[in-house]
């Protein structure tokens, strides 16, 4: 899937990468806060996605500087439901912002359908647009799009892979 570039580009991003049980996790921080949490098979794939998402930003790798942020995100993967103290810089359209806010309100260990999310934001006919907003979510785990499933109960798509989605939901249900 093609990753859309963010329209309001920060001039500079600091990012860090760590390995975890889901593969590589990248966190990127702009001046206003964390603007990306990406998952992938290896450091190259997450770095490439960051470059595509922020093509005009100067990307500076700062593993030590962002170690605390990375630790919080990896902690969320390994022990879902932990509170995060991250200042976010979530960039997207007004509609995307509404969807992403609704996703953050889905409790750990539960799921919601795309139709339920659409209804929750007052746009019951915008199921496909909700799915698209989930697919373009720049903050894996922090904005828990993995908690959204198909009407039939199937996992449907997940931009970071269905196996990762399954693992995340399994961990959350055991919490």
Catalytic residues: 145
Residue 147: DSSP 8-state: G
At residue 43, φ and ψ (nearest 5 deg) are -60, -35
Q: Are 99 and 134 in contact (CB under 8 A)?
A: yes
Helix ranges (H only) for the chain are: 43-53, 67-78, 94-104, 114-120, 127-135, 162-173
Which residue is it, tokens 């260990």? 109
Q: Are 133 and 121 in contact (CB under 8 A)?
A: no
Question: Which conformational region is residue 23 in: left (phi greater than 0), alpha (psi within -120 to 50 degrees), or beta?
Answer: left
């Amino acid at each position: 899937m093609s990753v859309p570039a963010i329209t309001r580009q920060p001039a500079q991003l600091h990012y860090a990468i760590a390995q975890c049980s889901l593969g590589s996790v990248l966190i990127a921080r702009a001046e206003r806060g964390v603007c990306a949490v990406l998952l992938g098979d290896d450091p190259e794939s997450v770095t490439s996605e960051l470059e595509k998402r922020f093509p005009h930003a100067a990307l500076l790798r700062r593993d030590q500087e962002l170690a605390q942020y990375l630790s919080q995100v990896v902690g969320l993967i390994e022990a879902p439901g932990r509170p995060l103290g991250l200042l976010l810089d979530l960039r997207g359209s007004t509609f995307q912002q509404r969807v992403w806010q609704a996703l953050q309100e889905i409790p750990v260990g539960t799921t919601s359908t795309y139709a339920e999310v659409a209804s929750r934001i007052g746009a019951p006919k915008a199921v496909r647009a909700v799915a698209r907003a989930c697919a373009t979510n720049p903050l894996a785990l922090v904005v828990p799009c993995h908690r959204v499933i198909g009407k039939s109960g199937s996992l449907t798509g997940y931009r970071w892979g269905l196996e990762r989605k399954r693992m995340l939901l399994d961990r959350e249900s055991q919490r």
